[in-house]
Amino acid sequence: MKPVNIGIVGLGTVGGGALNLIRDNAEELSRRTGRTITVSHVGVRRPRPDLTALGIVVSADIMSVVQDPAVDIVVEVIGGITDARAVVMAAIANGKHVVTANKWLLAEHGNEIFAAAEAKGVHVAFEAAVAGGVPIIKVLREGLAANRIDWLAGIINGTGNFILTEMRDKGRDFEDVLVEAQALGYAEADPAFDVEGNDAAHKLTIMASLAFGVPLQFSKVFMEGITKLTRDDVAYAEELGFRIKHLGIARQSAKGIELRVHPTLIPQDRLIANVNGVKNAILVQSDPVGPTLYYGAGAGAGPTASAVVADVVDLVRALTAEKLHSVPHLAFMPHAMANTPILPMEEVVTAYYLRLQALDRPGVLADVTRILSQHGINIEAILQKPADDAAGTVPVIILTKLVVEREMNAAITELQALTEIVAPVTRIRMETLA
């Protein structure tokens, strides 16, 4: 049988890693697929005489890769959204299968891309788009296909998790760790995407579609980053038996689907609370299997190339067997996608950690608890720390039981209006993940 030719668009960390992996593991890949897999064409801005010498066509014009009739599968790893979208749509129009690691592209334009692929009879594979080397796409689409998925919660941004781990372990400040995290090379091209939650929201959008059989709806994800977290919050949470993790949470409730990305207090003894550094992990609660946890490297050349090349292997197998659409792009058959509403954040029910900076005088706590009780908010724990500033104000930390976010928003507005509360109230959502 003739070799399968791969065109790679973009030779950065991921593209370079995929090129090396396909060459280094050529024999293993051939044993797994029954075909020879060859990188025949790469699209990269700078000349690469080393690759030309190996017989690989090198084009500065990335579109010439997708127009090359010899290329069977296009690997899009340029990142960003404008050029990547043009490359993927042109590849599909030219009847080529696509592998992409681009979560931003899929979260924003995936519905259009998958519809075009299905109309054209080609496949767009995207294992590397979520959690790098952790094969969570295959898990949600195939491994758990017999289950009803109730919720999933993931640490899906390695950069953010590294920052939170350092803040906790070494008591370092956010800004200080951020600089080091970016130097590690895991950060997005726009580092704000890591710390403001966009990157995690892109990945959550994709996982929620696969879990619940709904179209991709990035614009409806509630998003809060880690930029406002303080060392004190991290330490107080520890004292109360919790750890702060930046989680992407997707949950199907009777009213609709929750899609939210935010710092979250979780009990210290949960396995996922102990996922540290740049590692990723996704906890999936489904019926009948119960909770399952997937852990590993969420970024970097090797792990991401592992996922990209696994997709290449899947496509080569499917090409060889001519059974391309046996696994639908978004796990459910296109005609069977549900229009379950995505819940506005105000309707989400969760527990909370609140930190108030209060004047140290009689009656303050009475005012605070009165406001909470007027909004039906039940207190789980309360902790007052010694004065920590020149004015002698005291931090008061309150953990609450479950309450709908609308009531909490109203209560926080009233708390902040009290003259005894001297700074904006810090609110961090809290989940037991039980």
Tell me how far, at minimum, the Cβ of 170 lies from ligand HSE, in Å.
19
Q: Could you tell me the smallest distance in angstroms from the CB atom of residue 189 to ligand HSE?
A: 9
Cα–Cα distance measured from residue 211 to residue 284, given in angstroms and rounded to the nearest whole number: 9
DSSP string, 324-393: GGGS-TTSS-GGG---PPBPPGGG-EEEEEEEEEE-SSTTHHHHHHHHHHHTTPPEEEEEEPPP-STT--
Which residues form the interface with ligand HSE (CB under 6 A)?
132, 157-159, 186-188, 194, 199, 298-299
State the nearest-atom distance from the C-beta of 298 to ligand HSE, in Å.
Answer: 5
Least CB distance to ligand HSE at residue 142 (A): 22
Closer Cβ to ligand HSE, 301 or 356, answer by number: 301
Minimum Å gap between C-beta 188 and ligand HSE is 4
Of 2, 96, 103, 203, the active-site residue reads: 203
CA quadruple 348, 352, 357, 358: dihedral positive or negative? Answer: positive
Angle at 5 between CA 109 and CA 63, to 5 degrees: 45
Closest CB to ligand HSE among residues 182, 292: 182
d(CA 430, CA 262): 10
Min separation Cβ 195 and ligand HSE, Å: 10
Per DSSP (E only), the strands in 51-163 are 57-59, 73-76, 97-100, 124-125, 148-155
Instruction: Please identify, using beta-carbon distances, which residue of 143 and 191 lies nearer to ligand HSE.
Output: 191
Check: CB of residue 159 under 8 Å from CB of residue 182.
Answer: yes
Strand order in the sheet with 73-76: 57-59, 37-43, 4-9, 73-76, 97-100, 124-125
Q: Tokens 């005894």 sit at which residue?
A: 420
Nearer to ligand HSE, 35 or 203 (CB): 203
203 catalytically annotated: yes
Residue of 176, 13, 158, 10 lying closest to 98 (CA atoms): 10
d(CA 152, CA 140): 10
Cα separation, 263 vs 200, whole angstroms:
11
If the CB atoms of residues 172 and 406 are measured against ligand HSE, the closer one turns out to be 172
CB closer to ligand HSE out of 76 and 199:
199
> What's the CA gap between 7 and 19, in Å, rounded?
10
385 near 393, Cβ under 8 Å?
no
Interatomic CA distance for residues 83 and 62, integer angstroms = 9
Catalytic residues: 203
